[in-house]
Each structure stands twice: as C-alpha cells, then as structure tokens.
Structure 1
C-alpha cells in the first residue's frame, strides 16, 4: 500500500462520526449570454470589469479581446497584426487584474506587461519584474497568477527536467535519464522592489524520460508518466490569502499576506477506491490516447527535420523536454540519421494510488466572494463537478457545470465558461445560482 493510501485510510479512520456531510450536487445557474461565432479561437482567461464587460485572453489566435456585457465584441486590444502593432507576441501571454479596473497583459516575447484600461486601451507598458519569472506569470496548468493587495504577483514556478537537451557529438552508445522534481514553489514578486517572498511548496506531477541510441544510430526516447498523480493546487483569494489545496487528504492551507500559515479541516469527498482490476482497466483505456500523441510526435519530428538537425518536442504533464540530434561533419552528403523513436509508457498499475485523487493540477480558481472552486475528478457524464469551499475551508456547495465547459473567470454573481466543440470556441456567462 502506498503512502497516499495509508494516509487516506488513517484520515478516514480518524474522522469523527459528526463529519460534515456532502452537499447535494446541483446544476450551475442558467447560461444568460454567449459570444458570437468566430470571435474566439479559445478561452484561456477572462478578466471581468465593473461595467460588466470582459477581457478575454485567446491563446490560440494570440489575441486579447474586449467584449461588452452581452459578450459582443467591442475591439481587439492586442494581436499579431500590424493594426495593433503586433502587441501580442510570438509566445502565449498571460492576463490578470491590476489596479482598479485596469488589467495586466504579460508578453514573454517582449518581456513587457501592457497596462490595459477599462476601455481596452493600452495605457502604458511596464517591464516584467524579473526575467526568470515571466513564463511563470502565464498560468495554465501552473495555476492562475494574480496580483495581491500589496501589489505582489503570486505565481508558481515551472518545474523543468534536470537535463533538457542531448547532443550526440560522438558515435558512442549512451543513455540519459531525466526527471523533474516532485515539488514546485508558489511565491510572490513585489512589483516595486522585485523582492521575492516564498509562499509554499506544492506537490506536482513527475515527468521521467530515458534516452538511448539505437543500433541503427537513431535515438529512442521512453516517456513514463503517472495518469493519476496525487498533486496540490493553489489560488489567490481577493483578501490576499493564498490557498494551498492539498491532494493527499484534501484540505486547505491558508497563507496570509504576512506569511502566517493556518490549516482547515479535511474536505469531505466521495473517495473512489481503485482495485487492482480497476487500475488495469484504466491503463488499458488510455492506449488510444497514447497512440494519438505518439503519432503527433512522429509528425512533429518529420516536420522539423532539416539537413543539420532533427528535433522532437514532447509534452509531459509537468514540463516539456527537447531532444536535439546534431549532424556530424562526416555525415555531410550521406543519408540522414534514422528518425527518433518516441515510446510513451505509464507507470505500472501497482504504482497508481489506491484511491482516485480528488482533483488534478490546475483545477482551482477563486471567485470574487472569496470561495475556492475546485474541479474534481468525480465521474460524471453530464459535466464536471466543482467543489465550492468557503474562506474558512468548509465545503459549502457542489456544482455541476454543463458538459464540455471549464471555468475561465468570475464576475459578481456570475461565472464565465470556456467552450470548445464542433461549433468552435466561445465564451458563455452563467449565473452562479
């Protein structure tokens, strides 16, 4: 039995008979507004404004768009066209609330931060506080970066493999193993002083890869991942506290503006025990997804192949790794080296947790009322179930969102949902109740 299961069993055994009951799962309130067709390519982050308008970060089309209260497009704030001065760079950008009704757009390609006012105008440009942190301020699976009341950007660092590249400079048989750390740092960056304040360490998925040379002189890469990692998550609340949601026993640690830490009781959860048979079936069901990813990697290798190098970019659930195959001077005029072989594997069934983790990485957001919304792994054919946890760590609601939707932002009494289906991408606004 692994440590997660042992700890969970201990928690269950120690739970009092008067433990908080599970609230009944209820549907989200009605959807009241929907953006028009063709306006968006994706919905990464939504910044609600006091007027009811919203700014949407569309990372697929690399554009920042202002929509009115009815989700009708008012203007393009930034994109890759000359009309906006190519103000959305070549890399994915980040969006967060700034002072008053203004917003910050972080552009890693220029190392700048656009200050956008409530009318969608770029008021000025700031430099990022520290170059090393710019990618951590984007968000995505690393959490939702945000500005606290003391004007410190709260974010989580990106965990990288210890060896990101391998270059064959000789014809020697060699093997390289790389692995990311199992912990990441949540920290605060002061915009004025650039001082860094450690908030907490969180548990993250581990990515492993083994690289070796084949008998034909090619490269073989074996990726090993855990499809059910036990992780922690985090979010910044409006009052400046940072909530660390612990996955091992599903409780919340609270770190205030001065760094003081408190913990609230465990959140009641319908833990699903995974038998050995269930673990095997789970791994078998993932084979089709693995094959699709493997084919995508093969295609990436073919598309990126050139006379002097071959590159494959693989994406794990923790961080990307890059493998570069260089061409020797003696190879000029000869046939290109054999293609890189990518093999994706999962950890053995015995290494999976004995209970399905309550949530995955990047599952937590905070609403304007100071509640945490945690997207759980509770199975549902009708849509994801979010646990709503109040500022004291109590489970106060369980909400099912419509199928195919994810929460992208909040407004007063409303929630913004990102949708991507056969009709394309769009933004929906729904009442919380």
Structure 2
C-alpha cells in the first residue's frame, strides 16, 4: 500500500530522495521536490514536516542559510548534514565547511558544528545584476575532499584526504586518529571519466535565484535530458583519489566502511575500520555496488543495470 500520494499538499510528496530511521519506529523522508523533510510515523501517516532550508538568509548572501539534507540520523533523532556557504557576490568558496547537527522539530532553526571537513573544490560563476543575481557552482572532478559518516550513538567518523586516514569523534568528546593507510594510486582513464560523468548527471542540484530581493530555491536530483554529456579529460587528475566521497558508513557495530576508488571493471572494494580508526578488514563485492544500509549482521547493497533498474542485494557480515 503506498504511503501518501504524489503532489505538493499535506500527506503528499513530489521527489522522494532518501529515508532515515528515526526513534519510535518512525522514518524521515527527504522530499526534494517539495523542499521539505517529512516524519512518517509507525502507522505510515505523515506526522510532521519541516523545510529543508534552515536559518534565515542574510541580505545578498546565503551565509545565514543552510540546506538540511541529512547524511545520517542518530538514535536521539538528531540529523547530521554538511554545511554550505556560497556568497551571492561570487566570492571564493571556503577551504573547509562544517558538519552540522540539529534536531528535526518544527521549531529547530539552528545547528551545532561538530566537525570541519575539506569540501570538493568548486568553480563559482555568477550572472545578473544587484537585484537579480544567479550563482552556480561547478565541482572540480575528483578533487581531494574529506568524507564523513555518523553513527547511531552520535559518534562521527572523518575520512581525511590529506593522506588517507580516519579520525573518530566519540560522543564523550574523545578523538581517535588512526594510522595513515597506504594505497597504490590507479590511473584515470576514459572509462573512469565516463563513470564520474554519469554519476554527476544523477547528482544533487540546488538552484538559488534572487529577484527583487526575494530568494527562491529549487532542489532536484538527476534528470539530465538526453543522458549525461561526455566530459573531456580536462580538469581530471591523472590518478584516482583513495576513496569515494559520500559513500562512507558507520555500521551498527561501530565499524566504519569506506569505499575505495577502483578502476571500471574491477570489484567494488571497501576498507573497514574499527572505532579507533584502525583498518581491520578489506571487503570486495562483484561489480559496481554501493552500500545503502545495514541490518542485524547484514549489509545491503544496490547496483544499477544498463536499463537504469536498481537491484538490491543482502550480504551477511561476519
């Protein structure tokens, strides 16, 4: 039986993008099309909603505004997301951004910074005049960036790009830093450029336009017409980074799964770290897969076939 229906009104969704477990057998739904988050109760009804936008925009800037797009939700119902800060005057992007934590109540209007991470390098472009300005940001492909994931207990795993290693921020304030992980750089070829381009075509899009002092935001994912356009090799590095951003998970047992960059046609490879940041295992899966969740002693993965269909698999974890 479907939950809600397509639309822009109450009990409706427009572009569901992600779900996260919440306390009390509830579920958090990220609805990009409506620009809001919806909490679905155990009776499968919409309990409450709140906007994705968090905070109040400052005149001519986005500095007072964040986009609450959760990467994780802990056992207390707090959402973790990566902060963004783009100035409307097209200024240089920051060299670090915060990992933020906030409650999900209707009245939650601010977030706490729990860590700082290096973001992907961006090329900023602006157009329009003072009262009608548009800002766009284009990422530099495969540029070094940190990754992170949050555990259900509120711990935070940081995968650092200034040398491949893992830091763990524990709920009691303790910080553990694991040793650097040696890896053999692999060459970037045409197949790797195509894979990156295809993934980018299905990436998140955030549009911000200011017209006569009024700000409008649009959120979407994918939908590039005619399929992804082939990118030239210009701007790509010669070798792959050590790990894939946005693919790190903290499993229920506290272990940290980091997806490695591999060449097209090779098995998908994950490094597994303990709660102190030490690598304890290496796990490979056939084909190009991504982790989508964990259960009791199992890991769920998804793969996309040539027709665009996604296949869900379950593997037992020892």
Confirm or deny a common fold (TM above 0.5).
Answer: yes
Residue aligned with 1:361, SS: coil
User: Is 1:207 aligned to 2:155, yes or no?
Assistant: no
Find the counterpart in structure 1 of residue 25 from structure 2.
101
Alpha carbons 1:204, 1:361 under 8 Å: kept:
no
User: Is 1:186 aligned to 2:99, yes or no?
Assistant: yes
Residue aligned with 2:79, SS: strand
- Aligned residue runs from structure 1 range 19-418, under 5 A: 75-80=1-6, 87-89=12-14, 91-107=15-31, 109=34, 111-117=36-42, 121-122=44-45, 124-127=47-50, 131-132=54-55, 136-139=67-70, 144-146=71-73, 148-160=74-86, 162-163=87-88, 179-191=92-104, 194=108, 196-209=111-124, 226-257=140-171, 260-272=173-185, 282=188, 352=237, 356-379=240-263, 381-418=265-302
Alpha carbons 1:98, 1:104 under 8 Å: kept:
yes
Alpha carbons 1:374, 1:388 under 8 Å: kept:
yes
TM-aligned CA distance change 1:321 to 1:411, over 3 Å: same
Alpha-carbon separation, structure 1, partners of 2:111 and 2:96:
18
Alpha carbons 2:23, 2:75 under 8 Å: kept:
no
Alpha carbons 1:255, 1:261 under 8 Å: kept:
yes
Alpha-carbon separation, structure 2, partners of 1:92 and 1:250:
34
Deviations 1:337-395 (A, max 9, x none): xxxxx9x777667xx48x64211320201222111111111336243111111212121
Q: For structure 2, which runs of at least 5 residues remain unmatched after alignment?
A: 57-64, 129-135, 211-228
Alpha-carbon separation, structure 2, partners of 1:373 and 1:287:
24
1:206 Cα deviation after fit: 1.6
In the superposition, the TM-score normalised over structure 2's length comes to 0.70
Alpha carbons 2:168, 2:275 under 8 Å: kept:
no
Alpha-carbon separation, structure 1, partners of 2:6 and 2:140:
37
Find the counterpart in structure 1 of residue 61 from structure 2.
none
TM-aligned CA distance change 1:100 to 1:271, over 3 Å: farther
Find the counterpart in structure 2 of residue 305 from structure 1.
none
Residue aligned with 2:244, SS: strand
The structure whose RCO (Cα within 8 Å, separation 6+) is larger is 1
| More helix as a share of residues | 1
1:262 Cα deviation after fit: 1.0
Q: For structure 1, which runs of at least 5 residues remain unmatched after alignment?
A: 1-74, 165-176, 214-221, 294-313, 325-341
The total of aligned residue pairs comes to: 281
TM-aligned CA distance change 1:150 to 1:256, over 3 Å: farther
1:135 Cα deviation after fit: 7.5
1:231 Cα deviation after fit: 0.8
In the superposition, the TM-score normalised over structure 1's length comes to 0.53
Alpha carbons 1:206, 1:318 under 8 Å: kept:
no
Alpha carbons 2:272, 2:283 under 8 Å: kept:
yes
Alpha-carbon separation, structure 2, partners of 1:397 and 1:427:
25
TM-aligned CA distance change 1:81 to 1:406, over 3 Å: same
Alpha carbons 1:372, 1:390 under 8 Å: kept:
yes
Find the counterpart in structure 2 of residue 218 from structure 1.
none
Alpha carbons 2:125, 2:137 under 8 Å: kept:
yes
Alpha-carbon separation, structure 2, partners of 1:428 and 1:123:
26
Deviations 1:51-102 (A, max 9, x none): xxxxxxxxxxxxxxxxxxxxxxxx32244169x966113x554421111322
Alpha-carbon separation, structure 2, partners of 1:374 and 1:182:
23
1:407 Cα deviation after fit: 1.1
TM-aligned CA distance change 1:249 to 1:318, over 3 Å: farther
Alpha carbons 1:178, 1:210 under 8 Å: kept:
no
